[in-house]
Amino acid sequence: MGQVAFAGVSKWFGVRVDGRMQGVQALKDISFTVENGQIVALIGPSGCGKTTALRIAMGLESASAGRVLVNGREVRGCGHDRGIVFQHAELLPWLTAEQNVMFGLEMKGMRGDTLRDTARRYLDLVGLADSAGRRPHQLSGGMKQRVGIARALAIDPEVLLMDEPFGALDSQTRETLHGELLDIHAGTGKTILLVTHDLDEAVLLADKIIVLRAGALQQTINVNLDRTGLDLAEMRTQPEFAQVRLRVWHALHGTPTGH
């Protein structure tokens, strides 16, 4: 069970320009909802505030105005009801893949046999059961990100927050992980808020796409792609894929859609 609601969220940053402090508004009165079990993509060019929005939802930063509700509870700091996947995985380099997954679980208070078993189960879920004993520098970029996903999922959060999780990967690895994420989503039914700058990624994965431009919510686009039993290549051939992709493209570039 997981529902995320942004209610009029704004964020100002102080930035020093030529020795003087200036207020910069990163987010302007953002409101949207991620329903239980949905995948929602926050898309926009760099600097549009999408990562800031995700960090506020995680509790790593606070909103200057407005609030984020997770299952009706206001977000105040980090909590085990949310699991985050960072852009560069951010595994602890001195721990093995398994220990990295265990770290999150230990913070939740899990001990003993259940701890190891749970970590194994989630490494297995992301296809890394054989690499449990490897340290991060012995893993490829895609494998590191899989461990990052396993670490976030293992604490069984109500919402999974993903900050451009595939942005640093090569296109083939990215495609593979897209497929795996859809499988994991189908298997666990997790609510996912995904930040991305990749148009195709947003359309392929999300049920709803929130387009941000310069900190403001530009448009909300629902995606009705039929994903049942289809692989990513087949999804791309659907007319819905092309249409939604075009609408998001127009929203990103601020041009009228022609509809």
Partner 1 sequence: MSSSSETAQITPIAQPMLPADLVKPRMTLPRWTITALSVVVFFALWEILGRDVNPVFGSYPSAIFLAFIDIVRDGTLLPAFLESCKSFFLGYVLAIVIGVPLGLVIGRFRFAEAALGIFVTAGYAMPLVALVPLLVLWFGLGVAVKVAVVFLMSVFPVTINTWIGVASVPKSLLEVGRSFVAPGHVIMRRIIFPATLPYIMAGVRLAVGKAVVAMIIAEFFTALSGLGAIIINSANNFDTATMFVPVVLLMVMATGLTGLIGMIERRVAPWQSELSGRDSA
Q: Which is nearer to partner 1, 162 or 217 (CB)?
A: 162
Which token pair is 223? 């995606």
Binding residues for partner 1 restricted to 110-139, rule: CB under 8 A: 135, 137
* Per-residue mark of binding to partner 1, 139-158 (x: CB under 8 A): ----------------x---
Q: Is 84 in the site for partner 1 (CB under 8 A)?
A: yes
Secondary element (H or E) of residue 97: helix 97-107
* Min dist. Cβ of residue 115 to partner 1 (A): 14
DSSP 5: E
Q: Which of residues 22, 108, 170, 189 is near partner 1 by CB under 8 A?
A: 108
Q: Which is nearer to partner 1, 81 or 180 (CB)?
A: 81
Q: Which is nearer to partner 1, 162 or 244 (CB)?
A: 162
Please report how the helices 112-125 and 97-107 are oriented relative to each other, as an axis angle in degrees rounded to 10.
Answer: 120
Angstrom distance (rounded) from CA 129 to CA 131: 6
Secondary element (H or E) of residue 113: helix 112-125
Angstrom distance (rounded) from CA 141 to CA 84: 17
Q: Is 13 in the site for partner 1 (CB under 8 A)?
A: no
Q: Is 76 in the site for partner 1 (CB under 8 A)?
A: no
Largest CA distance in the chain: 60
Angstrom distance (rounded) from CA 218 to CA 24: 19
Q: Which residues contact 170 (CB under 8 A, 6 or more apart)?
A: 141
Q: Which is nearer to partner 1, 41 or 58 (CB)?
A: 58
Site size toward partner 1 (CB under 8 A) is 20
Q: Which is nearer to partner 1, 57 or 202 (CB)?
A: 57
Q: Is 72 helix (H, G, I), strand (E, B) or coil?
A: coil
* Min dist. Cβ of residue 238 to partner 1 (A): 36
Return residues touching partner 1 (CB under 8 A). 58, 60, 78-80, 83-84, 86, 88, 90, 92-94, 103-104, 107-108, 135, 137, 155
